[in-house]
Amino acid sequence: MLKGLSLFANVGIAEAYLESIGVDILIANEIDVKRAKFYQHIYQKTNMIVGDITDENIRGKIINEAKDKNVDFIIATPPCQGMSIAGKMEDFDKRNQLVHYAIDVIKQVKPRFVLLENVPRQLKTKIKVGDEILLIPEYIKAELSGEYNFNEETLVKAMNYGVPQMRKRNIFLLSRKDTGIHWEFPEKKNIVTLSEALKNVPSLDPILREGEELTLEKFPDYLIKKKEGGKVSKWHFPPSHSWKMVEWMVHTPSGSTAFDNEIYYPQKAGGVRIKGHYNHYRRHNWNKPSRSITQNNGVISSLTCVHPGYLISDDCTEEGRRYSDARVFSIYELMIITSLPLDWDIPDWAGETFIRKAIGEGIPSLLVKEIMLGLIKQL
């Protein structure tokens, strides 16, 4: 069994299947107290070190603990918001510098294997190292290529490994040279579409922020659907949205954006069109995996967040064209799309917004499992 350390651990989404395949995460580090508490609820055997990895005392504690427990595998998933196209992409965002501290831990612990994950834009992102400005990949290889073999291809799509989500990532797979192992991505698997992934998940109507009275007026089956959803999972409950946004999406077909509507388009008071990205107010497509789940996945207006929906009626007019599920994905649906185990023990105290953000920032569990199985087969 590999003995592991998880850096920037979030709530442990990447680790969901690791113990079952022979990877024992003994130590984890997370700066956010609430996320660390969530992580510890699920992985009770792991020693969670709560604190800022840039703090020398915290980093020293992580390193010493890892050495004491003979850690031979490190997974590090530094925050991506400074590089992500869903973020501001500011030059030299301080979060982009966090990879430096992960590298310091790796150099001192010297594990046999390392998985370093981030968004594809990491390949083109520069950081400051002393007086130098380097691309992050240049920096990582300059620091570690003396002792480690690197994978040749670093870009990977989660959808190629059984995850019903496109999510493209840049992942460095490092194997210490004395292992004699060259760690590459495993063979691709069949793509899973949303129609396959969500085929047994009941439809839900949203709860309107204007209140239950209007909700029942607009969606007479709301309570029946809510009850059926609850039978599947306590996490399959109706998201809350404003009626104006819901109405736009009711008339928007699967895979389309409300910006293409001629009547029910995103608008301000007086019918003035709202300007936005072409993937805002967009429904997912049943015939494809989901687009990347972001931390803002609970907001209809964010990047492709709306359920694909089922056709209710269509008389060839926009007014008569109606689709169900004019809402974002439920927590339960997000678990499926992120390939989390459906019995994953989310703590009851965790709020919806908090869970959504944590899932949106996590690397799909099944992708990590498949990559790690590729390594384990060589050991």
Cite the active site residues.
80
Q: Angle at CA 318, nearest 5°, toward 317 and 322?
A: 105
Q: List the one residue out of 371, 366, 370 whose CA is nearest residue 16.
A: 366
Q: List the one residue out of 338, 357, 335 whose CA is nearest residue 346.
A: 335
What phi, psi does 45 have (nearest 5°)?
Answer: -85, -15
* Contact status, residue 339 vs residue 364, Cβ threshold 8 Å: yes
* Contact status, residue 296 vs residue 305, Cβ threshold 8 Å: yes
Sign of CA dihedral 303, 307, 311, 313: negative
Q: Angle at CA 255, nearest 5°, toward 253 and 258?
A: 55
